Structure formats: structure tokens, C-alpha cells
Structure 1
Amino acid sequence: MSEIVTIQGLQKNFGKLQALRDVNFTVNAGEVVGFIGPNGSGKSTTIRILLGIIKRDAGQAKIFGKDVWKDSLEIHKRISYVPGDVTLWGSLTGGEIIDLFLKLHGGGDKKKRDYLIKRFELDPKKKAKGYSKGNRQKVGLIAALSADSDLYIFDEPTSGLDPLMEAIFQEEVEKLKNAGKSILLSSHILSEVERLADKVVIIRQGEIVETGTLDELRHLTRSTVTLATEGDVTEIAAIDGVFDFQQKDNEATFSVDNQYLNDILARASKLGVKKFESVPPTLEDLFMRHYEG
């Protein structure tokens, strides 16, 4: 799988503050990468470096094999970007701004533009100064999604959108993914990342703390098990890897390290299983593992 975005040993300082420390990750062709972390963790700084807005202090950052600083003009012809707070020209209408963005990008797909305006329920004839934050985001999203790009970079793209519009955005990103496009998605909505991302990169205080597919990362957190048995379910509490054991009659709920699930199943089968439910850890569980306390 060819690498569309390559970041190696990326560092950035703002005075005495080291915003990025040895950041490494890739975005491959046809891959959606979820880039998550709290405010101030370095997400937007990384994205601004990728866009050639600010210059890195050390390391490498390439898109399409080109240097993001030296070759930014060539790179921008093949990417679409939506920030978390879209700023517009107040005296122009939403439709005029979308058309301007598409013209600057090389034309875009006018049929898709019209389809997305209708889908996102945007009034394109209204002047931008009268738009809410959510409608400003819609203008940016419609322009970006109407352009045929090889890489889409979204930095908190659904900020200000209602849940229905968030769902529509997710559906449109899935279409891009199915078309083989590459996407870097920075989002505070973990369920959005969990639904869309092939790979997750978690950044904390300027450092990458986890990277991998959700299946690869889930071994780091515990599944939640609900178990009801004919025999005394209390025996399960003594098995290695069982935590937070809570029992009511002969039904228990507990968390378990995944490598011990087989031991639990073996013991439970001897007790006579009446009910067994195992819920894998969510992205939120994984995220909180790094940020609690």
C-alpha cells in the first residue's frame, strides 16, 4: 500500500514550548486515519505543518512524496481541507463562496455541489455574514467534498453541526473511502472516528502514544462481560484478569483482559452457562486510558 502522507520525527517548538515531539505516522492510499487527542495535544499544529502553513523545526513531512513546505503549491492542487472553524467573506453568498473555492481548486463537480447543497440543507443564496457556525462549516464541507481530490484533511469538520448533519458527513466520507480516497480525520467525536477510521493515531502532549487499527489497539483495553450461570458464578471472580466484579444472584458483570477470556469460558462452561455477553472496548475506552488523571 503506497504512502500518501509520511511523517517522521516531526518536531515543532513555539518559543520554549515544544508542541510536537518526534511525531511519526502515515496515511496510506485509500485509508481513513483518525487523528485524535484533546485540545492542545498537537493535532492542529501537525495539520498546519502538513498544509505548509507553518514550518517544522525538525523531521520529515511529505504528501505524495513531496515536501510539504517546499512543494506546497503542487500538493494543494490534489488535496481538500476543512478546518474546525470556517471563516468566510461576509458580503458573498454561500453559493458564491463554494463556487470560488471550486474555481480556485480547478473546477470541481457542479452536479455533486448541487447534490451536497441539498443534502446539507444549505441556503446558498444567503449572505455568509448571516450564517451560523454550523452553516459556515457546511459551506467548507460542500466545497471540499465537491472537489475531486486525492487526499482530504478534516480538522474537527463537524464542529457546530447537529447530529443529523454529522451523520450525513459520515456517509459522504464513507463514499470517498469506497472510492479509494485517502482521508486524515481529526475529530473530538470518538464515535465518528470509530465508524470511519481504518487506523487510529492518538496524540498526547505533542507525542504519539498509540497507533494502529482498532482491532490492534483493543487488546490494550478490557472487554465488559455479562455472565449468568446455573452454578455459583462467584467462582469467576477469582480468575486472573477479572476486574470490577459485580454480582446479583447468579448473574455477574465484570471487565476482563482479553487474553483471559478463554479461561473464563472454560470455567463458566463447567458452571452451566445461561447467558454470556462480551462487549469489546470502544475507542472512547482506549482514549480515556491515556487521559484519565
Structure 2
Amino acid sequence: MDAPAIRTRRLSKRYGRTTALDALDLEVPAGEVFGFLGPNGAGKSTTIRLLLGLIRPSTGWASIFGHDASDVARAHRLLGHVPADVALWPRLTGAEILELLASTGPGTDRRYRDELVERFALDVSKPGRTYSTGNRQKVALVAAFATRAPLLILDEPTSGLDPLMEREFRRAVVEARGRGQAVFLSSHQLTEVEAVCDRVGILRGGRLVEVAAVARLRRLHRTEVEATFTGPAPDLSHLPGVQDLRRPDDGRLRFFLTGPPVEVLRALAAADVSGVRMRDPTLEEVFLDYYGDAGPPGPAR
């Protein structure tokens, strides 16, 4: 398909005086794993409901592979969805639920589905009413990953999963990308997004504040540097990009660096350096640079 998996233009949703999503411009190409980050209340769930055609935008529009997202019958033939809170038919067994979803969805690879059942350690003989939160999540994940829909929309998909099952989830995402499927992963699990996503979008108070590759997003923020010396430490305070320079009494320099490191590395190379340690920020630290400790400003849903 030539059209992107997801495209939005000025997509907005208001509830009275509350703006849940404000002028979202976003494009996710086919075959990309896109992480959609934000804490509770940032507008992630509103975005997903708009993409699924479950609610109407106040202004703007969204499309799925070129089809208006509000045309639910057509758009849903092109996507699989895992909601944040999975509800199952209580009297049907897991096997019956998976078969029902396969018969009503956009096509399922049953052999791959059976493999996923084993990998996720899912007992499909039990009725839905007996499943824990984690097992309900597994049913939804198996059904979604087994579908051959070109787009998967996953909303907090690993809630209730243990670390071993989270590893299987990440493996399944990589396999979906290898088949050319696009994956839209809405999450607040930063390590999860960091592990599998090609690009990340950060939503704050209903507005998109950044879209970038994970590696580039880290480079936009400061790198922690620690250098030790056998002789006198150089004066780096005047160099561009050096912040929070500290000089402990142990022959070390500690500072943060933003932007190109050329000038700093040149100054360090001219001194008697015995060791240098540089640490890139994690995605969580990048995220907190946007939010601080207070969370997103203003109300959103």
C-alpha cells in the first residue's frame, strides 16, 4: 500500500471546555513500529479511539492506509487492535474466542497463532471468565499478532504480563515488523518502547511535543560525562554545551554535555586523562525532561 498506515491532520477532540487532543499531525508509514508515549491523561487513549473510529473528531481527520478512520467497516479490515482493558466472552474457552476472532477479523495465520499460544504459555481450554488480567491480555495479543492485518494498534498491551511474557511480546513485535506490518504502540512503559520502536512520539497535555527516532531523541538531550585525570583537570566551563560542571576533590570532572562534543573531546585529549565515561540518557530521562515531576499541564483524557 502506498498510503501511510496512519495519517492525521489537525486532529482534535474537545469535551466541552476540555481539550483532550489538540491539532495532532502524525504519520506512521507501513512497516514501522511507532511508540506513542505519555502518562495517563496525556491524550493517548483519545487518539486511539479516534483512529478506531469509536469517537468523532471535533476538528481535523485521521486515515488508515488512505481510508477515513470514521469509515469503520473499511478501516477495521486493515487493522488489529489490543485494548488496554481486555474483556472476553465469559462462557467461551480461549480456543473458541481465538477462533471467533479469526473468523471475524482480516485474516489469521492459524499455524502462527498456535505457536504464539505456546510461547505465551496460554491455556486455551479454560473459559474466559476464569482468566486473570494477564491471561486476558495474552488472548488479545495472540489474536492480534496472528492476524495478517497490515496495522496493529496496541494500547498498553503488556499490562498484567510478567517479565518473561514481556520478552515474548517484544519478540512478536519484531516479527510483525519483519512481515511488513506497522505497529502503533501506545504505552507508558519506557523500556518497552525503547526496546522495540523505530520512532517515538511524546504527547503532553494533548499536544505532540516531539517525534524522533529513539537514538536521535536521546541526542537532543544531555549526555552525562565523567573524566578522571592523572594531572590537573582542564577548565571546560567556557566550552559550548558544558552544563552543571562539578569538580570533586578526587581528580575528576563531572558535567553534562549537549550538542556536538568536538570541543570538549579536544580539551580532554590535551589533558592527562586516565579515563572517560559517557552515558546517554535513557528514554525515561528524556521523557522526564519534558514532564518533570509534575506531569502534563492542563487536563486531557
Q: Could you state the TM-score of these two structures normalised by the residue count of structure 2?
A: 0.92
| Aligned counterpart, 2:61 | 60
Per-residue displacement from partner, 1:237-289 (whole Å, max 9, x unpaired)? Answer: 55443233343522333221133x21211111111222122222221122101
| Aligned counterpart, 2:212 | 212
Q: 1:291, 1:242 → 2: CA distance?
A: 23
| Aligned counterpart, 2:254 | 253
Q: 2:31, 2:249 → 1: CA distance?
A: 48
| Aligned counterpart, 2:114 | 114
> What is the correspondence of 1:97-246 to structure 2 with a 5 Å cutoff?
97-233=97-233, 235-237=235-237, 239-246=239-246
SS in 2 for 1:235: coil
Q: Is the 8 A contact 1:5 1:61 kept in 2?
A: yes
Moved more, 247-256 or 44-53: 247-256
Q: Is the 8 A contact 2:151 2:183 kept in 1?
A: yes
Q: 2:245, 2:123 → 1: CA distance?
A: 54
SS in 1 for 2:165: helix
**Which letter does structure 2 place at the counterpart of 1:64?**
F
Q: 2:192, 2:249 → 1: CA distance?
A: 35
- Give the C-alpha shift of residue 46 in structure 1: 0.6
Q: Is the 8 A contact 1:229 1:268 kept in 2?
A: no
**Which letter does structure 2 place at the counterpart of 1:143?**
A
- Give the C-alpha shift of residue 113 in structure 1: 1.3
Matched residue count: 291
**Which letter does structure 2 place at the counterpart of 1:226?**
E
Q: Could you state the TM-score of these two structures normalised by the residue count of structure 1?
A: 0.94
Identity across aligned pairs (percent)? 41
Q: 1:265, 1:252 → 2: CA distance?
A: 13
In structure 2, the CA distance between the partners of 1:248 and 1:162, relative to structure 1 (3 Å rule), is: farther
Structure 1 unmatched runs, 5+: none
Q: 1:238, 1:231 → 2: CA distance?
A: 20
Structure number with higher helix proportion: 1
In structure 2, the CA distance between the partners of 1:264 and 1:106, relative to structure 1 (3 Å rule), is: closer
Per-residue displacement from partner, 1:126-179 (whole Å, max 9, x unpaired)? Answer: 111111100100000001111111001001000111111111100110111122
- Give the C-alpha shift of residue 98 in structure 1: 1.1
Q: Is the 8 A contact 1:11 1:19 kept in 2?
A: yes
SS in 1 for 2:21: strand
Task: Give the alignment's Cα RMSD to 1 decimal.
Answer: 1.6
**Which letter does structure 2 place at the counterpart of 1:17?**
T
Q: Is the 8 A contact 1:48 1:54 kept in 2?
A: yes
Moved more, 5-14 or 263-272: 263-272
| Aligned counterpart, 1:90 | 90
